[in-house]
């Protein structure tokens, strides 16, 4: 019997004034402790070449609370402060494993406002959640039910830039289990004219949510730029208006990607995608806005974790694989293929839609991976000008 998947359920809630004040204090203390611990670890390494772990920073936290300048840390629950130190330890672990950059200090204005509570710092009974240091339960909008008899292991409270409050409950969900095996594989090519093109020939329209609200966003940003810094209420109101437009765009985009990835995972046993370097592609000034709006990285992230939940496989083809320039009918490699070329005819007589052809080539590369576990690299032309037929494909499973 498989181990139940831990899954986070996120809900909107509306705090009282007292609860909002308590949570705001907690957010500030979490940020302060994280920054103090990061500064201590950085200084210890720079001056003494000494690595400080979570246990050492936890002892430092106890000492900080006893000082006059940081005595206010005692006013909030200690659990979110300890969790901040654990998160910092995790960040350093990823850094030393070369999976992430060096941890950065949290900004009061730009960093995510959140606090994590473990079981000792909250009470969950009969659908009512009460956090430490609070007398009343949170007024949560239960937009969907939790799994039956679910008991949260951690609770994360956050506030976004639009000043909306959310609570996320991490529970074991026995309803998440592998889906029945289906005899279907598919190649997926990401694009801008169409968000996705499938090897079946289907094209998914790019909704371009940012472009739809671009005029409203520009107007709100102009209004914000006219507000004088220090003009508290008016500037805060204009900033909140801009944040709400951004939130509307992000919410609609995320909802669309969730529906799309869920459908792909349910209908296909194996999904082949391309390993796009979105960070580098964003350096293209002409296309950066459109690429950001397409959210290819978020699409891949959603697809991979859902595939892992449902027993599906995601195969990632090397970014240098010439999927657009390779004829899916005869294997001939074209020397060049400008982005303006949307359809082309091969020497063998086959006429290709650029995106459909790319999706079919990705599918063929993915099938080669499933068959022999090879690695895929771009084809190289032979001295006579003909492409070498050897194909290697790099495989990455969720």
What are the C-alpha distances in Å from 70 to residues 53, 64, 128, 165, 334? 21, 6, 33, 27, 66
Q: Which residues are catalytic?
A: 189, 274, 355
Residue 371 structure tokens: 């068959």
């Amino acid at each position: 019997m498989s181990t139940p998947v831990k899954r986070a359920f996120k809900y909107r809630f509306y705090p009282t004034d007292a609860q909002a004040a308590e949570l705001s204090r907690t957010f500030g203390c979490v940020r302060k402790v994280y920054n103090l611990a990061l500064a201590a670890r950085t200084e210890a390494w720079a001056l003494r070449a000494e690595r400080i772990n979570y246990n050492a920073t936890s002892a430092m936290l106890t000492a900080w609370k006893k000082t006059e300048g940081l005595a206010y840390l005692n006013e909030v629950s200690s659990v979110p402060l300890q969790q901040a130190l654990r998160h910092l330890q995790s960040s350093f672990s990823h850094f030393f494993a070369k999976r992430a950059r060096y941890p950065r200090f949290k900004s009061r204005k730009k960093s995510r406002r959140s606090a994590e509570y473990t079981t000792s710092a909250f009470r969950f009974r009969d659908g009512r959640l009460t956090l430490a240091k609070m007398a009343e339960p949170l007024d949560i909008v239960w937009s969907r039910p939790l799994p039956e008899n679910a008991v949260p292991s951690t609770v994360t409270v956050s506030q976004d830039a639009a000043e909306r409050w959310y609570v996320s409950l991490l529970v074991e969900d026995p309803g998440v289990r592998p889906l029945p095996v289906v005899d279907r594989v598919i190649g997926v090519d990401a694009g801008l004219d169409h968000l996705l093109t499938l090897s079946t020939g289907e094209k998914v329209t790019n909704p371009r949510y940012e472009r739809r609200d671009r005029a409203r966003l520009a107007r709100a940003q102009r209004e914000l730029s006219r507000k004088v810094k220090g003009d508290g209420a008016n500037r805060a109101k204009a900033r909140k208006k801009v944040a709400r437009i951004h939130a509307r765009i992000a919410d609609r985009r995320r909802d669309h990607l969730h529906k799309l990835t869920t459908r792909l995972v349910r209908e296909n046993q194996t999904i082949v995608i391309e390993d796009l370097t979105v960070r580098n592609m964003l350096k293209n000034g002409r296309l950066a806005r459109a690429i950001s709006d397409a959210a290819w990285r978020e699409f891949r992230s959603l697809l991979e974790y859902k595939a892992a939940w449902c027993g599906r496989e995601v195969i990632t083809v090397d970014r240098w694989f010439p999927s657009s320039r390779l004829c899916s009918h005869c294997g001939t490699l074209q020397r060049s293929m400008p982005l303006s070329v949307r359809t082309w005819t091969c020497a063998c007589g086959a006429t290709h839609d650029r995106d459909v052809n790319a999706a079919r080539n990705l599918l063929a590369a993915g099938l080669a991976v499933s068959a022999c576990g090879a690695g895929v690299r771009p084809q190289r032309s032979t001295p006579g000008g003909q492409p070498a037929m050897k194909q290697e494909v790099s495989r990455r499973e969720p």
